[in-house]
């Protein structure tokens, strides 16, 4: 079974495109953060998924 040799040295183009992708991803996530009201979502999730203090396990 042969394996494809991997080049550990990245070209300038590969590094540049990775940086551009990362910037676009972070820009998109910042826009989502600005649009979404996370407080109401967090409140809803906390109400739904909090453990009750008086929960008893069945033995």
How is the chain split into domains, by residue range? 24-58
pLDDT in tens, 18-36: 888 888 888 888 899 999 9
**CA contacts within 13 A on the Cβ side of 40:** 3
The token duo for 2 is: 């042969």
The token duo for 44 is: 């809803």
Gap between the Cα atoms of 36 and 30, Å rounded:
10
pTM passes above 0.75: no
What integer pLDDT is reported at residue 55 of this predicted model?
Answer: 57
């Amino acid at each position: 079974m042969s394996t494809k040799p991997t080049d550990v040295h990245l070209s300038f183009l590969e590094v540049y495109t990775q940086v551009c992708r990362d910037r676009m991803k972070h820009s998109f996530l910042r826009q989502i953060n600005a649009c979404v009201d996370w407080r109401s979502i967090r409140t809803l999730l906390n109400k739904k998924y909090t453990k009750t203090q008086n929960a008893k396990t069945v033995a």
